[in-house]
Amino acid sequence: MHWCLNFVCQPGSAVLIRALEPLHGIALMQQRRGGLAPRQLCSGPGKLCQALAITREHDGLPLDAAPFRLSASADAHPVATGPRIGITKGVDTPWRFVRQGSPFLSKPLS
């Protein structure tokens, strides 16, 4: 139904990218997502993939080569942790990492 973006570094380990703050290409993302406000473009794993046009064609591609472009932020940001979303096992494990106070999350930390 929806694609998800997982960063896989080793077999059996992955990080699900649930949200991001759109900084570039906002007009194109808005076309793909029906004209939503920037805060709503990438606030969930399916929404994020739709906004970035990530499909099955991207499965298995390296993250350090085109069409991907990852770069570290020039600024340090405080990180908060909390329980994961949408699971029943391991709910209390704080494996959700977010930019503290980000308005771009699908569900804020409580």
Per-residue model confidence as pLDDT tens digits over 2-32: 899 999 988 888 899 999 999 999 999 999 9
| Predicted TM-score of the model (pTM) | 0.86
More confident residue, 109 or 15: 15
18 vs 49: CA distance, rounded Å: 9
Per-residue pLDDT at 1 exceeds 80: no
For CA atoms 30, 36, 39, 44, the dihedral sign is negative
Query: What integer pLDDT is reported at residue 94 of this predicted model?
Result: 82
pLDDT digits (tens, 9 = 90+) for 38-79: 999 999 999 999 999 999 999 999 988 999 988 888 899 999
- Domain range summary for the chain, segments of one domain joined by +: 5-99
User: In sequence order, what DSSP letters do the residues of 31-66 get, joined into one string?
Assistant: HHTTS--HHHHTBSHHHHHHHHT--GGGTT--TTST
pLDDT at 36 over 90: yes
| CATH number at 5-99 | 3.10.300.10
Amino acid 73 reads S
